[in-house]
A and B are shown apart, each in its own frame.
Chain A
Amino acid sequence: MRRHPLMRILNAQTVALAGVLLLNWFLFPGFFDIAWQDGRFFGSLIDVLNRGAPVAILAVGMTVVIATKGVDLSVGAVMAVAGAVAATMVVDGYSAFTAIVVALAVGTLCGVWNGLLVALLDIQPIIATLVLMVAGRGLAQLITEGSIVTFSDPHLIFMGTGSFLGFPMAAVIALVLMIAVTLAVRRTAIGLFIEAVGINRSAATFAGIRSRMLLISVYALSGFCAAVAGIIVAADIRGADANNSGLWLELDAILAVVIGGTSLLGGRFSIPMAVIGAIIIQAMNTGILVSGFPPEFNLIVKAGVIILILVLQSPIAQQLLIFSRRNAGKRSTP
């Protein structure tokens, strides 16, 4: 049953990514140019990785949440909260390390709160996380006292603008997080349990899976990932903007997960594919930017892609696909 490793890499997502990248190249011939300067790489491709990192990080957490048949709308707001916490703490004289740890803890706690609403009170995930989506931004504004808190702590700034082996720090963090979480769920039984709960929570409970504990953990992970993304975004602009940090990114994260092939109905999931989904989204954004089209196109193109994906995943399209495959090669008689 095991396919050749090369064949396993070849799937809808990687083909789509290659397609978008080639299109970018077509629109902007210098797209694949990479330069080495001041000990780091520069170029459009590197830019895609760097800018795509926050959504990729969100997508890591969002994938497991969606796999349990949930969704986390609060990640954008949690990014703002975590950024605000980190920024105000370094401004108040705490070390970058302490600030980061506390910000991550606050983000994780936000996730636990979501998890409690979903797992213990049985509130629908979309409603449960909507609470924090709205309240979180208010909380972030309270922390920053309504202003944009700017900072100059070099260690914190490094998280957003630094580089590691020539690659942007944000992309490196995203990669590490992706690998760590993938290993954590696939080398243990957690991934199997997440899928089981997402497909049939009742049957999973009968089989002895502690679905409540699992759901809380999954939302906690999503909160943690949001905090990581929030810190990176704040570090990148050297300031915490409670109003705009992470705004609408929850939607990009959900889109990335769906492009990555995880169904919104829960069940089978793939974290690396969701990360590729995030890169596809960013590649489209960058492509429109570098090609000189007005940025408003961005939203229209994105909407087009969403529609395309939803249509391809809809039962009617699936049936049509099966139908055309069945009729391929033989004449159908009505």
Chain B
Amino acid sequence: MADTSYTLQARGICKYFGEHTALQDIDFALRPGEVHALLGENGAGKSTLIKILTGAYHPDAGEVLLEDRPVSFRDPLHAQAHGIGTVYQEVNLLPNRSVAENLFLGRQPTRFGMVDKRRIEREATELLARYGLDDIDPRAELGAYSVAVQQIVAIARAVELSGKVLILDEPTASLDRNEVEKLFEVIADLKARGLAIVFITHFLDQVFAIADRVTILRNGRLIGTEPLTEMSRTDVVRMMLGKDISFSGGTSAVGEREVGELLVSFRGTGRTGSLQPFSLDIHKGEVIGVAGLLGSGRTEMARIMFGIDPADSGEIRLNGTPVSIQSASDAIAHGFGFCPEDRKADGIIGDLSVRENIVIALQGKLGWFRALNRDDQLEIAGRFAEMLDIRAASPDMPIKLLSGGNQQKVILARWLATDPGFLILDEPTRGIDVGAHAEIVRTINRLRDDGMALVVISSELDEVVAYSSRIVVMRDRELVAELRGENINPSVIVQAIANQSDEAIAS
């Protein structure tokens, strides 16, 4: 036992869900002052391991040690009391409480026995400023803010609670570069203070930028724990997938290609208080990438296009004829599809089965009375589960029991099943592993070649560049630039996003 002592350690952990083995004999140990990346494919068991370490689940075998003493946390709150702060993959804050309340829930500073509201709000503002969120109203409802903001609030809360260990399960899935940088500064600071940090992500760049050691799981089994200094990107991927994949086509732009006829056109479409009127023509066989910072109006644009927040100005034409889109069901009736960003709130229907979650939008399109029977549903669900490699023990299992990445694939499948003419994807690869990521980029390319029109919002510029025929840039709730051809490359996009004057290459 010459080894250093560990802050938190798990030994021989096993976890079974019915017949399914989620974890088999896992050893995992955290040193003080290290950033430890936990990697693996979708469904490998990362989140399950985290939940066991923090008392959200109880292991079927094995033990957890905190500073060399065996512990058995009753629940995450108990773990928190021992200095372990956690951000779970599915952020579980209270959307209808204020930002400040969410930050301080359970440890509010009191004055004369009452919660000191003003102090909470002041401290909340200071706290969030450290993460680059200066324009957040701490009194506003948390649910009113984007997924990214909610994620940052969850991180800030966990950081405040963590005295020994901070665990982050895909914290950067919907953050863009600036926010990731801010987060990394905070992590570096905690690391210097001797905390152990667990970091789960599917972005290998981020792993190499910040982690010291890496533990890799595959199919619920431990593949290994290694110092990152001795590993290359290819090594990591090989350990994760058990095979090599090529990273080709990463940044090769699609370029000026022939597009089909005009499908949808937005003319001066906008919504007061949400988005300035914008005009955009979308052709068949075309992918429009949407770039912009957090809060620039990307998601708002998608919501208006899809009728979730109907436009109050301008007009929308489909194949040349004006159409009225006042609700999602109007949009779907016109062959639109929209895969939203907030998987938990707007995507999954937790207690319904994977099969029902896949067919629900198609069934919505068919209406109340043309019901797909069970066999139809199984056939459709099976087809898309295979196409997107959805890993579920059974198509009848509730979707909420799937791993995060597999849930995301189900939502994608839901929209592909409606066979849309025009598909809007808001952060489609959120939480998707490296192998599946390449597959989804390929799928987008294939759909485009089949003549579908797509609008894709993504914070990952490399990805946007890989499939976009055109890129529109949003800033301050306005469409400010349109990039084509040569200009579709990450550096121009970054410039266009940041540019204060509108000298960007308008079409």
Contacts and interface: CB of A to CB of B under 8 A. Distances in A.
Contacts of B372: 189
A128 to B, nearest CB: 19
B368 interface: yes
B296 interface: no
Interface string B49-81: 000000000101000000000000000000000
Contacts of A313: none
B368 A189 contact: yes
Interface residues of B, number: 35
A188 B329 contact: no
Interface string B372-409: 10000000000000000000001010000000000000
B347 interface: yes
B350 A190 contact: no
A310 interface: no
Interface string A299-334: 000000000000000000000000000100000000
Given A188-B368, A208-B361, A210-B327, A200 B350 contact: yes
A332 to B, nearest CB: 10
Nearest to B303: A206
Q: Which of B331, B346, B370 has the most CB of A within 10 A?
A: B346
A205 interface: yes
Interface string B343-361: 0011111111000100011
A207 B361 contact: yes
A61 B329 CA distance: 26
A192 interface: yes
B371 A200 contact: no
Contacts of A189: 363, 366-372
Interface string B423-445: 00000000000000000000000
A196 B60 CA distance: 33
A268 B360 contact: no
Contacts, number: 79
Contacts of A268: 351
Contact of A203 (B346, B366, B367, B369): B346
Contacts of B368: 188-190, 193
Contacts of B394: 1
Interface in A5-46: none
B31 interface: no
Nearest to B363: A189
Contact of A199 (B347, B349, B369): B349
Given A207-B414, A208-B328, A199 B351 contact: yes
Given A1-B396, A188-B369, A207-B360, A202 B346 contact: yes
B332 interface: yes
B349 A204 contact: yes
B467 interface: no
A193 B347 CA distance: 15
A203 B349 contact: yes
A139 interface: no
B136 interface: no
B364 interface: yes
B329 A209 contact: yes
A4 interface: no
Contacts of A3: none
A267 interface: yes
A326 B60 contact: yes
Interface string B322-352: 0000011101110000101000011111111
A252 B333 CA distance: 42
A205 B307 CA distance: 11
A20 to B, nearest CB: 29
A202 B308 CA distance: 10
Contacts of B308: 205-206
Interface string A109-123: 000000000000000
A188 B414 CA distance: 19
A187 B371 contact: yes
A274 to B, nearest CB: 18
Q: Which of B308, B331, B363 has the most CB of A within 10 A?
A: B363
Given A187-B371, A206-B338, A192 B363 contact: yes
Contacts of B348: 200, 203
Given A208-B365, A326-B60, A199 B352 contact: yes
A268 B370 CA distance: 21
B336 to A, nearest CB: 9
Interface in B35-60: 58, 60
A195 interface: yes
Nearest to A209: B364
A207 B327 CA distance: 11
A190 B360 CA distance: 11
A203 B347 contact: yes
B329 A208 contact: yes
B320 to A, nearest CB: 24
Nearest to A201: B349
Contacts of A192: 352, 356, 360, 363, 371
Contacts of B370: 189
Interface in A158-214: 187-190, 192-193, 195-196, 199-200, 202-210
Nearest to B400: A199
B58 A206 contact: no
A192 B347 CA distance: 16
Contacts of A326: 58, 60
Interface string A275-306: 00000000000000000000000000000000
Contacts of B346: 202-203, 206
B455 to A, nearest CB: 16
Contacts of B367: 189
B364 A193 contact: yes
A62 B89 CA distance: 36
Given A190-B368, A210-B329, A202 B60 contact: no
Nearest to B343: A203
Contacts of B414: 207
B12 to A, nearest CB: 14
B351 A195 contact: yes
A267 B60 CA distance: 30
Nearest to B371: A189
A201 to B, nearest CB: 10
Nearest to A190: B368
B23 to A, nearest CB: 15
Given A207-B328, A207-B361, A207-B414, 6 more contacts: A188-B368, A192-B356, A195-B351, A204-B360, A206-B346, A326-B58
28 contacts: A188-B371, A189-B366, A189-B367, A192-B360, A192-B371, A195-B351, A195-B352, A196-B356, A199-B351, A200-B345, A200-B350, A202-B346, A203-B345, A203-B346, A204-B349, A206-B346, A206-B347, A207-B414, A208-B329, A208-B332, A208-B333, A208-B361, A208-B365, A209-B329, A209-B364, A267-B351, A326-B58, A326-B60
Which 8 pairs show the lowest CB-CB distances between chains A and B? Answer: A208-B364, A208-B332, A207-B361, A189-B371, A208-B329, A267-B351, A207-B360, A200-B349
